[in-house]
């Protein structure tokens, strides 16, 4: 599936081809901190399909508890996340589903790092829903 994405301010735009069956939610504490939310929804895009159309992201390198280094790219103006990847010669780019125009068509298929999940994140039923602010 071809997807188009952009940062919040629109300075960075990109496109890629993704497999909707590979959308996942990560509950690790790094993803919670990097999103400012309970989890991060992402989908891998093979390197050969990812095309940065406009802008140049700023990259932050995070060293995981395992010692693995991971690049996190974001817009230098608005701070919106663009992707994460291996440091050198990445086989894939992990795209943030919320930044993709096709996000409604990309429901998650699995959850990882569930041991770190905040207790309320698994069931939002019963919480008041308001159509607009």
Question: What pLDDT shows up at residue 125?
Answer: 85
Query: Is residue 124 in some structural domain?
Result: no
Residue 7 belongs to domain with CATH number: 2.170.150.70
pLDDT at 76: 97
Q: Considering the domain boundaries, does residue 129 fall inside one?
A: no
Q: Is residue 128 part of a domain?
A: no
Q: Which domain holds residue 96?
A: 2-118
Copy the structure tokens of residue 6. Answer: 């952009």
Is pLDDT at 65 greater than 80 in this prediction? no
At 88 the pLDDT is 78
Q: C-alpha angle 13/15/20, rounded to 5°?
A: 130
Predicted local distance difference test score (pLDDT) of residue 47: 93
Give the three-state DSSP class for 32: helix
In a domain, 123, yes or no: no
Alpha helices in 36-84 (DSSP H): none
Tens-digit pLDDT profile for residues 79-125: 999 999 988 778 999 999 999 999 999 999 999 999 999 999 888 88
Confirm whether 42 is domain-assigned: yes
Q: What is the pLDDT of residue 122?
A: 84
Alpha carbon dihedral 19, 101, 30, 39, in 10-degree steps, equals -90
The yes-or-no verdict on residue 32 having pLDDT over 80 is yes
Q: How many domains does the chain have?
A: 1
**Do residues 96 and 24 touch, judged by C-beta distance below 8 A?**
no
The answer to whether residue 21 sits within a structural domain is yes
Q: In this structure, are residues 109 and 43 in contact, taking their beta carbons and an 8 Å threshold?
A: no
Q: Model pTM?
A: 0.89
């Amino acid at each position: 599936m071809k997807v188009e994405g952009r940062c919040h301010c629109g300075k960075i735009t990109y496109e890629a081809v993704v497999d909707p069956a590979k959308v996942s939610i990560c509950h690790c504490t790094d993803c919670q901190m990097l999103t400012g939310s309970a989890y991060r929804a992402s989908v891998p895009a093979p390197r050969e399909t990812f095309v940065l159309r406009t802008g140049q992201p700023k990259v932050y390198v995070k060293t995981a508890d395992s010692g693995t280094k991971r690049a996190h790219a974001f817009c230098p103006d608005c701070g919106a996340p663009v992707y994460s990847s291996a440091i050198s010669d990445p086989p894939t780019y992990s795209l943030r589903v919320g930044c993709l125009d096709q996000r409604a068509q990309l429901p998650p298929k699995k959850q990882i790092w569930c041991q770190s999940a905040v207790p309320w994140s698994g069931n939002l039923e019963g919480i008041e829903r308001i159509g607009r602010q």
